[in-house]
Structure 1
Amino acid sequence: MKILYAAGPGNVIETFKYWKKGEDDPSQVAITYSRQFFDVCATLNATGYVITSNPEKKIFKDDNFTIENRPLYLSKQSGILYYIGQVLYELNFVLSVLWFRADLVVGNLTSCFFVLSLLPLLGIPVIPTLHCVLWPKYAEISKAKRTLWRLNRRFFSKDCLAILSISEDVNEQVDAITNHQSRPLVNFLPLYHRSEFADITLPSQSRSPFHVLFAGRIEGDKGVFDLLEVARRFQAEGRDDIVFHLCGIGTQFDLLQEQVKEAGLEALFVLHGYCKKSEMQQMYNLSHVVIVPTRSNFIEGLNKVVVEGILANRPVITSSVCPALAYVREAVVEVPPDDFQAYGDAILKLQCDRPFYEQKQQSCQSLQEPFYSDSHSWGKALMSILEKSQANGLLLKSVR
């Protein structure tokens, strides 16, 4: 059996090298989806071809696997040129599928799914993976996007074999574009080893200072400037017992750093930059809460930071922009999207109301098991689709 996997921009080649040694990629906290793909191929004794959108163009071959980094076309363009690049990229991808003589295609690389409808016409089943919502949950959909999703409707309602989906929010949007007539939707969750969080201690009983942790890219649509507004509010109120820690890099890092300095908040709004896994464990040990203030104009996925905060036994503050909320609501303080006043109020509530904090913190443990269980993983979800399809005679090659 030959399976072609369309991955994202990650460093799948390095992940494979660790997998070959029987190890997980040490740069990642969650077990990567590409590693799970390699496991599925090993189980099926299948030959795998992975095409990633990693910008470093490269081809790597080893035994039954070929991994190709194929940068997206016209990815820095906007408007019609951007979509022309996506269509051309998908057409080239289809040619690669035919050249490889794939029996199955898993995953996807752009939002132009309608191009992939060519493959089922040629007898090649496709199982897309939806890691993010299809459009921002609370934003108005542009005419161009509406046209795109009308074009994609047939793929999701008739042409694909099944759909791997990261959340119920994604399911609802697929239902919306297919008028509730989509192909089977199969949900999955990110998968973790317990050992990744074993050395993280319970939060300190001391509330002064109260440490608030943000982990992610330093971008406006990730809500980092909203956090700065919260810090300015606390400064104006004379509070110096709440410290924000931001771990990550991004295009707005320098601007944010400049504004922090102008506000005189360097001691209370600390930009740590990129943090290695061991450094992130230290930050979790220091923190009392995790905050995920993603703005409503962002196309959000499950957001693993929400999950990892729960696995670290830290209450999380976020909004319904993050689909992960549905899985961990009991340990989350939910606020309205884009409302930095509400984010500040939530921080104060967790700092000052100890019973409320303890209730949220204790809820973390009861929510962790699904993220440690392989039965909810992407790999298991994929195998369940293949086994069911084989039983129904929809796959030509044997699935054992």
Structure 2
Amino acid sequence: RLFYAAGPGNIIGTYRHWKSGKDDPSQVAITYSGQFFDLCQDLGAVGYAIAAHPTPDTIRDKNFTIEHLPKPAATGSLAYHWNQVWHGLQIMAAILKSKADVAIVADGTTHWFVLAPLSWLGVKVVPSIHCVLWRKYQPLKRKERWLLALDRVFFRHFCAGVLAVSDEIAEQVEDLTGTEVPPIAQFLPIYRREAFAGVESPSQERSPFRVVFAGRIEREKGVFDLLAIAQQLAQAGRTDITFDLCGDGTQLEALRQAAQAAGLADRFVCHGHCNKTQMRAMFNRAHAIVVPTRTDFVEGFNKVVVEGILSGRPVVTSAVCPALSYLKDAVVEVPPDQPTAYADALVKLCDDPDFYAAKQAACGALQEQFYDETQGWSAAVRSILGNLGFRRAGFFTREAAAPLVNS
């Protein structure tokens, strides 16, 4: 029996698409919940998946139970931490009710130490970590140090293995646990080739030079830095460089108003949420992708960086993004939180054809790893399951595809 606590996504919707033999059309990458359903079916395992989607719902279908368990909105630090603990207790109750052998839990579900008692009750807990454990450019606050100290105990003594989406996250787990490192299996986001089959090569026409941002419209994602970049370029007379921002968020209207006030509304366009078809159109006309996440944000493996590379577009970003080490040859790396450095990088891509061509050529050489399912999440889960000894008939019938980082 396998249990999966996912993030806040609509996994019931994903399951319905999966059952009809299709990928979830709302996502560009193959979803982790879809990979979980594939894995359970392949292994003959009973699967229970739960997500913190805001609309409560439950479906039961043969060997699957899929549940949406909303997490209450939190205002303030104390309420946030209480919600994390309470939601963790609810997840523990669901795990025990499901009689799971192994529980895979995505980061953000709860504080890790809350899950420690499951180990005493015979459940193997496997964290699936998609964001760095701490911000590498910011000093830890006292509260963060306390939480990491508690989580250190969990990872050392109550964790059966770790799924990590980047080498940087794996290194943080190793740093946190010292000499008692749990088994770690790394994975990458995986895509279907056909998702990018219709994306054309960037236009040779450089006026305008189109830059795309895709993600949540929040201050910590660097969207106001992006406006500062656009202002600097306008002041330098570079009205040929334009920006398309795709995504929703709490700062969307404020950003639109700020762009309007700066006289940039025609060259700094906030499109709001864009579906898969709209994003394909945005990538098609883009020359470059920008990911200006700030240092005060706990960043994950930003899929937009990958999707830019798979579209054959160079990406401008900083080392705040843990994906950088996998894609460095196709990325223009700049110091974090420095709009001027981002502006200079975009100007160089626009004005230097040889530099742009080299970065674009590197995209092709880096794409294959993100189409290789042996590098994906389900392969990493197989690796952990194999390490735990689940190879009996009807549960684990094939050898693990993804190698463990350590053992």
TM-score by length of 1: 0.96
1 CA distance for matches of 2:394 and 2:94? Answer: 20
Deviation at 1:397, TM superposition (A): 8.1
% of aligned pairs identical? Answer: 48
Which residue of structure 1 aligns with residue 130 of structure 2? 131
* Deviations, residues 2-50 of structure 1 (Å, cap 9, x unaligned): 1111000001001000110111011110000000000110011111111
Alignment of 1:334-349 (within 5 A): 334-349=333-348
Which residue of structure 2 aligns with residue 162 of structure 1? 161
Match of 2:83 among 82, 85, 88: 85
Which residue of structure 2 aligns with residue 399 of structure 1? 396
Which stretches in structure 1 are left out of the alignment for 5+ residues?
none
Which residue of structure 1 aligns with residue 92 of structure 2? 94
Which stretches in structure 2 are left out of the alignment for 5+ residues?
398-407
Deviation at 1:77, TM superposition (A): 2.9
Q: Secondary structure at the match of 2:116?
A: helix
1 CA distance for matches of 2:80 and 2:201? Answer: 47
Output the amino acid matched with 1:205.
Q
Which residue of structure 2 aligns with residue 323 of structure 1? 322
Deviation at 1:76, TM superposition (A): 1.4
* Deviations, residues 294-353 of structure 1 (Å, cap 9, x unaligned): 001111110000000000000000000000101000000000000000000000010111
Are residue 362 (structure 1) and residue 374 (structure 2) matched? no
Alignment of 1:201-280 (within 5 A): 201-280=200-279
Deviation at 1:111, TM superposition (A): 4.2
2 CA distance for matches of 1:219 and 1:120? Answer: 38
1 CA distance for matches of 2:158 and 2:182? Answer: 8
Are residue 49 (structure 1) and residue 48 (structure 2) matched? yes
* Deviations, residues 208-247 of structure 1 (Å, cap 9, x unaligned): 1111111111111111111111111111112211111111
1 CA distance for matches of 2:184 and 2:156? Answer: 11
2 CA distance for matches of 1:307 and 1:226? Answer: 21
* Deviations, residues 57-91 of structure 1 (Å, cap 9, x unaligned): 11122221111111124x41322332122112212
Judging changes above 3 Å, is the alpha-carbon distance between structure 1 residues 23 and 233 closer, same or farther for their aligned structure 2 residues?
Answer: same
1 CA distance for matches of 2:268 and 2:152? Answer: 45
2 CA distance for matches of 1:373 and 1:399? Answer: 21
Are residue 120 (structure 1) and residue 119 (structure 2) matched? yes
1 CA distance for matches of 2:110 and 2:6? Answer: 13
Deviation at 1:137, TM superposition (A): 2.2
C-alpha contact 1:387 1:399 (8 A) present in aligned 2: yes
Alignment of 1:5-154 (within 5 A): 5-73=4-72, 75-108=73-106, 109-154=108-153
Moved more, 100-109 or 137-146: 100-109
